[in-house]
Structure 1
Amino acid sequence: MAIKLENVGIAVRDLDAAIAFFTDLGLTLLGRQTVSGGWSDTAVGLDDNHAKIAMLATPDGHGQLELFEYVHPEAVETEPTRPNEVGMHRVAFSVDDLNESLAVAARHGCRPLRGVATYEDLYRLCYVRGPSGIIVMLAQALTPPR
């Protein structure tokens, strides 16, 4: 059986702010639309589902992020996820310049959970609390890819 990851979907409270954050980090907005109706109710499991969505892609074309802002039913606010909680943990991106990426995140009011770490002299990485409380991992390779 063949399987392929298509995208990661994340519900956000402000679609425009989330799009701005992720496009400033380097993702490309592929498109926006609204979804609703019977097929959407069935697929998502919510009656009278209506959401604004945006699809973004990584520059290499391999990763996609689908962002949802629910119009109906109204979005339910929850506490931001902590790294040790069961469920959706984080979305991770490789970046060329971690310092530059952290500066971009800061312009959006997004800060590291703690700080920048070095993993086995291979990566500098950091968890950032992104828009709508999303945990975003940013990692810069310390050695050029082979």
Structure 2
Amino acid sequence: MAIRLENVGVAVRDLEATIAFFTDLGLTVVGRDTVSGSWTDTAVGLDGNHANIAMLETPDGAGRLELVEYIHPEAIETTPTRPNEIGMHRIAFSVDDLDAALEIAARHGCRPLRGVATYRNLYKLTYVRGPSGIIVMLAQELGGR
């Protein structure tokens, strides 16, 4: 059986703000829609499902992120996850300039959870708390390989 990752879906509080954050980091919006009806109730498992969605893609075309802003049922606010909680942990992106990526994140009010670290002289990386509490890992490959 062949398998490939299609996308990662994330429910968000503010679709436009979240699109702005990820497009500023370099992703491209490749589709938008408003979905509802019995097919989406069945697929998602929610009665009366009605949502605005946007599909974003990485510049290399290898990764996609689906953002979902629920209209009905009403979105449920939760405490933002922590890196050690069971469930969706984070979305990770490789960047060629971590400092530039952090400047972009800061313009959206997003800062590292603690700071920037270096892993075995291979990567400089950090976790930032993005829009809607999403943890986003940004990693820059270093020349130590």
Task: State the match for 1:102 in structure 2.
Answer: 102
Deviation at 1:44, TM superposition (A): 0.4
Contact 2:121–2:144 at 8 Å: present in 1 too? no
Once the two structures are superposed, residues 69-93 of structure 1 have per-residue CA deviations (whole angstroms, 9 ceiling, x without a partner) of 0000000000000000000000000
Q: CA deviation at 1:143?
A: 1.8
Match of 2:112 in 1: 112
CA contact (8 A) 2:32 2:55 kept: yes
CA distances 1:36-77 after superposition (whole Å, capped 9, x unpaired) = 000100010000000000000000000000000000000000
Question: Larger deviation: 136-145 or 109-118?
Answer: 136-145
Structure 1 gaps of 5+ residues are none
The separation in 1 between residues aligned to 2:37 and 2:106, in whole angstroms, is: 38
Q: Give the superposition deviation at 1:144.
A: 8.3
Gaps of 5+ in 2: none
Counterpart residue number, 2:75: 75
Residue matched to 1:143? 143
Counterpart secondary structure, 1:74? coil
| AA at the equivalent of 2:39 | W
Instruction: Give percent identity, aligned residues only.
Output: 77
TM-score by structure 2 length? Answer: 0.98
Deviation >3 Å, runs of 4+: none
Letter in 2 for 1:137: M
The secondary structure found in structure 2 opposite 1:87 is coil
The aligned counterpart of 1:86 is 86
> Counterpart amino acid of 2:2?
A
Cα RMSD between the aligned structures?
Answer: 1.0
| 2:49 partner letter | N
Residues 120-144 of structure 1, C-alpha deviation per residue, up to 9 Å, x if partnerless? Answer: 1000000000000000000000028
Q: Which amino acid aligns with 1:89?
A: H
State the match for 1:51 in structure 2: 51
Instruction: Tell me the CA shift for residue 31 of structure 1.
Output: 1.5
Amino acid of the structure 2 residue aligned with 1:59? P
TM-score by length of 1: 0.98
* Aligned positions of 1:12-23 closer than 5 A: 12-23=12-23
CA distance in 1, matches of 2:144, 2:7: 27
Q: Residue 102 of structure 1 aligns to a residue in which SS?
A: helix
The total of aligned residue pairs comes to: 145
